[in-house]
Structure 1
Amino acid sequence: MADEDAAFTLALQAAKDAGQVIVDAFHKRDKSIESKSGATDLVTVYDRQCEELIVGRIRHAFPAAKIIAEESHADNGYDLSNDMTWFVDPIDGTNNFIHGIPWTCVSIGCHVNRKPAFGIVYNPIINELFTARAGQGAFLNGRQIRVSNITKLDKAAVINEFGYGRDPATIDRMLGCLRKLLTNNVQSVRFFGSAALNMCSVACGRADVYFEGHTSKIGPKPWDFAAAEVVLTEAGGVISDQDGGTFDMTSGRVLCASSKALLDSIVDIMK
């Protein structure tokens, strides 16, 4: 427990300091952009700068800890184990950051014995700090948050994402998902561009459902989910695979909702 307390304190300060890097660079025109897996999967010099800051502090305080971080460890596999494992996304919503859209965040999660211990998701542009520790509730800027009480699709705000894939099969699949949502009369569908903030939006009641149904290659990764999963579940949300099975953060697929009834409704219409 002492290690977890120290880890949470370290992560909180690291997220704030990385957030300041994001704020300072947010309105710059030249963000030194590079492509990774394709033209829609981008990284900036600031992603790397923030990651170096966060990972450096973790390594200094917890030299034996395992770190799974987007920019420096993305190609090394996930290798989940019982060790203290950190998941770092230095800038989730990089495309938003590049275009000056204020929906971007630092995401730091920690698992102990393969179970979520805490999560921190910080949007420094609008100064929103989501925090959660296992068994202790979820908070936004220090105020406890809960999911909405929505249980019906026609009252639900649904977040979806198209992801990075631009091949015809992926496009057809995603447009098919959108058609199913609209023909089943969901109240609204939104695309915001940050998996971590999407999950936190469900956690605080701004949205009622968030799902992505990609593959492990083009879908969200463990560093996108790890921190926000704790925030979501501690706020009373439910999470699964898009088919309603057990959530696997390495699959690229996620379905989370404010209620089991809503989750089951999405599973039914996506069959």
Structure 2
Amino acid sequence: MPSDQELYAEILEFAYTVAEQASKLILDGAAARWKNADFATKKNAVDLVTETDQAVEDFIRKAISDKYPSHKFIGEESSEGKEKPVLTDDFTWIVDPIDGTMNFVHANPNVSCSIGVMHEKRPVVGVISQPFLNRIFSARDGNGAFMNRTVPLPLTGGIPQPLNSLSQCLIAAEWGSDRRMETIQVKLDSFKRLNGDPNKGVDGGVMVHALRTTGATTVNLIHVAAGELDVSWDAGCWAWDVAAAAVILKETGAFFAGGQELYERDAPIDEVVFGRRYVAIRAVAPTAEESSEQIQRRLATHLYSVVEEWTTPSMM
């Protein structure tokens, strides 16, 4: 009987191969799109689903079913409009075939395919490909995280860099597909405080280095894992947006948490993954006064005090 670690290693190799094949489908779909595309509207005009999205999920699901027929599967497309999936201790694959659908529609390269595996309600394997950028990020529990198999994360030579305050951070945050005024207003107020100069009339302003919006939660999270972003803050996304990233982040030494309530009670990771609100902070070099985790938690606590959480209709 193979050990869990041996199983995780085998599953990672398989997931990596599937991600490579799925990436080719995405690239082929993008090329074909300009010749003949069939679009359907999902939720509203800013959230389009393409035939490629469904085709990629179908391919991944069949590949997993053929290889591991006893494993469970949770996918974005197959879960659309259904009740919240129930996570068990069984091996469960959690897949977003194309994150950044609007980017895909507009030929923006911030598109990813996310394949995560949870076992005993913990993320244990994660593979996230960026087909248009020829990058694949991968990790398994206890074995580090890498880009394109061999390059250690973070991309700063595998060495975490210092980070002392929120004002020094490059932060990712998304507008999302919920365009109701109440949601937009909450985000505007939060963005104002993050960006604003407290010495120039912005009450509670932090004046972070900058905010960035890529249009894809998984892209933001792997940028954090890679050390290309300091913080990612988001809400309204789903388990398939974060399941793969959760293990990649952990293996780099990054901090990953849910909304403020889950953070304050140190909720278990399965609640975080399915909690619909997420904060990630990159790996940080320790100082003489603080450990890496102490710095990350201090930054997270400050972030929670600055931003305001919102609730989308699907979270109610």
- Please state which band the TM-score falls in when normalised by the shorter chain: over 0.9
What is aligned with 1:71? 77
Unpaired runs of 5+ residues, structure 1, are: 214-218
What is aligned with 1:115? 122
Query: Residues 35 and 42 of structure 1 are in contact (CA less than 8 Å); yes or no, is this contact kept in structure 2?
Result: yes
Please tell me the root mean square deviation across aligned C-alpha atoms, in Å: 1.6
Query: 1:141-152 maps to which residues of 2 (within 5 A)?
Result: 141=148, 142-146=150-154, 147-152=160-165
1:24 deviates by 1.8
Match of 2:216 among 194, 211, 214: 194
Query: Residues 224 and 281 of structure 2 are in contact (CA less than 8 Å); yes or no, is this contact kept in structure 1?
Result: yes
What is aligned with 2:253? 236
1:36 deviates by 2.0
Residue 185 to residue 110, structure 1, CA distance change in 2 (3 Å): same
Match of 1:53 among 59, 62, 65: 59
Cα deviation code 1:222-268 (max 9, x no counterpart): 00000011111111111112323336222321111123332222112
User: Normalised by the size of structure 1, how large is the TM-score?
Assistant: 0.93
What is aligned with 1:8? 12
What is aligned with 1:268? 305
What is aligned with 1:216? none
1:66 deviates by 0.8
What is aligned with 2:101? 94
Q: Which runs of 4+ in 1 moved over 6 A?
A: none
Structure number with the higher helix fraction is: 2
What CA distance in whole angstroms lies between the structure 2 residues aligned with 1:260 and 1:32?
46
Q: Which has the larger radius of gyration?
A: 2
What CA distance in whole angstroms lies between the structure 1 residues aligned with 2:255 and 2:247?
11
Percent identity over the alignment is: 30
Match of 2:244 among 227, 232, 248: 227
What is aligned with 2:314? none
Cα deviation code 1:8-28 (max 9, x no counterpart): 222111110010011122243
Cα deviation code 1:182-238 (max 9, x no counterpart): 12110010000111111110111100000013xxxxx11100000011111111111
Residue aligned with 2:133, SS: coil
Match of 1:181 among 194, 198, 207: 194
1:155 deviates by 1.6
1:148 deviates by 4.0
1:76 deviates by 4.5
1:83 deviates by 0.7
What is aligned with 2:29? 25
Cα deviation code 1:48-104 (max 9, x no counterpart): 111111100111111111100011133242101101110011111111011000010
Equivalent pairs counted in the alignment come to: 266
User: Normalised by the size of structure 2, how large is the TM-score?
Assistant: 0.80
Cα deviation code 1:99-122 (max 9, x no counterpart): 000010110000010011110000
What CA distance in whole angstroms lies between the structure 1 residues aligned with 2:83 and 2:258?
24
1:41 deviates by 2.3
The residue type paired with residue 55 of structure 2 is Q
The residue type paired with residue 136 of structure 1 is N
1:3 deviates by 3.4
The residue type paired with residue 238 of structure 1 is F
